Structure 1
């Protein structure tokens, strides 16, 4: 599939025009897909250890299951053996295993008698909808029904029309709404909204993505020099001390996350492309803010101690909190660089795209045991301070696929059009 006008601006010598680089990306993506296949469990998918075996005491995980379903559904459309059965397995697990038959919605783990107060998180439901959307495009059995139900829950329970964002969490029976508005789960919701809009030809979801971006980025982050604040209460009061005692929390660490600055950057560019493709116009601030976010993320997070890589968190003054370098931060940074290169043709982004891939290649791609090392410490040694083992497939694999596709439509529809 060819990119529209932006592809004409990519320099002739760019890696994004290199057949050899495309083959390398494909090869790395295939390695990741194969490495993650042993994560299949009786119910869904579970976390892998550093060697690619199920972690000791591994339990099925709903977010992992949704992400793996999304990935393997798309991979199945590329003609890759073994991926369709894994996508089907994921859809079945989400429909039958993690689902709350009494109140509707999904739990992170299959409920047991010892679970006294499981909560229903927007973060998880965002990925359930994304998985169902991609699986529907791939014509996976049961996916369309899953998408219908998941969308009804996501829209009916989590979407706040007045605020233009998604609510964060509820008790199992949908009472006790959490007094929190989170940038992380809403950022992923932007991706999912765009995927649903393309899968169902439903522009209202694209407009919701724009409303989320406008609040968290154009209003809040832009006023803070594009340093994205993560934590707010329901009255939109910033919570600077949120999770101060949990600096290595996997989803809501205290402080600011430069990896999210750059992740927002490429999502804004994809949203701009989607609006231009479908509506013929898009707000100018989407490009302006994407550039600002990338620059802010690189400034705040890249090579703060001279060893390369994007660190995990900084405080409000941009002083490092956790200097470890998760793999997903690097993946999102290079995805943003690729998107900006496609959109602007500026050689600065070619330089960053190459620099970030060089860092990943030399420090994170594990050629001995497979997969990507999920986290490095400040000296680029393997670490498990935040993320143990090699559970994640989603971020790394999408980083190998994004450069091969246009900014719009979303992954599943883009691959379906390419394959067709």
Structure 2
């Protein structure tokens, strides 16, 4: 295909349909969505995970709104699993992991997983999925009462099963996904408090901490929100809490900042400034004229640490580029998105299955150093969907309703 084709809504729509065909294989008749291997078969060594089940519920809810055949059935399946299989009927909230017999394997209550439940519930409510209204009511209550720390203006990370013990670790990643979920919740519920909380998180993690670190985002903090720059220095390739800076998250925050600005009546100038600065630093640290792909992590001087190329990183890069181009009109962003769409089509899309390779080596060949299989359609689905929607309100209110 030509670059023009790759940047078209028609190309993205076709690629999204192929992606969803692969993702449908994750449905488990007994409940929930399973972790898929490279061929689209269940990975029996993986238990059922909350974040994947919530993400797949989000994907199929939006797919239904976009008119995708049979997506409502899968979205309903996801809401049912979140309402029963993963739900802690004793203490409220949701278990992080559940085995195939329905027993909780990890009873920790995590902000990351609960943010995706809120995102899924908001999307499912907008899609008219049975049971979504009740799920959303609990998800907003739990996030507002348990994870939101009004003193810090951010979310705590992990809480014990009975909600009595709050872990000292604080994380930027879970708060980033809380921003995304809060923007959806604000639009779907009509309650502006969620947008105010999203702004509060961004002001502190990006406006204060990222700015103070040359726009490389500190990911890890102690209980007082003091950055821990050496965190996991001996586990540099951790899939969720790696050492150093994570350029893919800089792209993701950049996109979310622009979406936040678009949702505000009078966005503050620092939001656009920060979005552009994050994007510029991430590009400077990861983009080479003659080497494709974007590294997973760098040190605090921008030197790559983990050079593997993840599908979610380039998905967020292209989304940030589209958002910034739509907001600023600057040709720089259009040029980079053209390059990245070409790389996505050449290296990441598996044209036999429609899914995306989740991890590539620096030589752009499939590898499994950090991730195995293809359990997650969320990032690729967003990349193939959001560029063709308004920046605000959120996709749950705009997908399938374009003029």
Q: Bin the TM-score by the shorter chain.
A: over 0.9
Give the one of 79, 95, 102 matched to 1:91: 79
Question: What residue is the counterpart of 2:142 in the other structure?
Answer: 153
Tell me, in whole angstroms, the C-alpha distance in 1 between the residues paired with 2:348 and 2:4. 24
- For residues 296-320 of structure 1, the C-alpha deviation after alignment (integer angstroms, 9 at most, x for no partner) is 111112249x421111011122221
Tell me, in whole angstroms, the C-alpha distance in 2 between the residues paired with 1:101 and 1:212. 30
Tell me, in whole angstroms, the C-alpha distance in 1 between the residues paired with 2:367 and 2:274. 33
- For residues 156-209 of structure 1, the C-alpha deviation after alignment (integer angstroms, 9 at most, x for no partner) is 000000111010001111122111111100011111110000001111110110
Give the one of 288, 296, 302 matched to 2:281: 296
Matched, 1:229 2:218: yes
Question: What residue is the counterpart of 1:252 in the other structure?
Answer: 241
The Cα of 1:225 is off from its aligned counterpart by: 1.4
User: 1:7-156 residue pairs with structure 2 within 5 A?
Assistant: 21-41=8-28, 42-110=30-98, 118-156=107-145
Question: What residue is the counterpart of 2:174 in the other structure?
Answer: 185
Q: For this pair of structures, how many residues does the alignment match?
A: 400
Question: What residue is the counterpart of 1:395 in the other structure?
Answer: 379
> 8 Å contact 2:169–2:221 — kept in the other structure?
yes
> 8 Å contact 2:97–2:104 — kept in the other structure?
no
Moved over 3 A (4+): 15-20, 111-117, 416-419
TM-score by length of 2: 0.95
Are residues 401 and 116 of structure 1, via their aligned partners in 2, closer, same or farther at CA, if it must alter by over 3 Å? Answer: closer
TM-score by length of 1: 0.91
Matched, 1:362 2:346: yes
Are residues 369 and 415 of structure 1, via their aligned partners in 2, closer, same or farther at CA, if it must alter by over 3 Å? Answer: closer
Question: What residue is the counterpart of 1:286 in the other structure?
Answer: 271
Tell me, in whole angstroms, the C-alpha distance in 2 between the residues paired with 1:96 and 1:301. 42
> 8 Å contact 1:138–1:416 — kept in the other structure?
no
> 8 Å contact 1:117–1:171 — kept in the other structure?
no
Are residues 416 and 147 of structure 1, via their aligned partners in 2, closer, same or farther at CA, if it must alter by over 3 Å? Answer: farther
> 8 Å contact 2:110–2:159 — kept in the other structure?
yes
> 8 Å contact 2:247–2:296 — kept in the other structure?
yes
- For residues 336-367 of structure 1, the C-alpha deviation after alignment (integer angstroms, 9 at most, x for no partner) is 00001111111111100101111111111011
Are residues 20 and 258 of structure 1, via their aligned partners in 2, closer, same or farther at CA, if it must alter by over 3 Å? Answer: closer
Matched, 1:376 2:341: no
Tell me, in whole angstroms, the C-alpha distance in 1 between the residues paired with 2:103 and 2:186. 39
Equivalent residue of 1:321, what SS? strand
Structure 2 gaps of 5+ residues are: none
Equivalent residue of 1:332, what SS? helix
Give the one of 239, 250, 258 matched to 1:269: 258
Give the one of 169, 174, 180 matched to 2:163: 174
Structure 1 gaps of 5+ residues are: 1-14
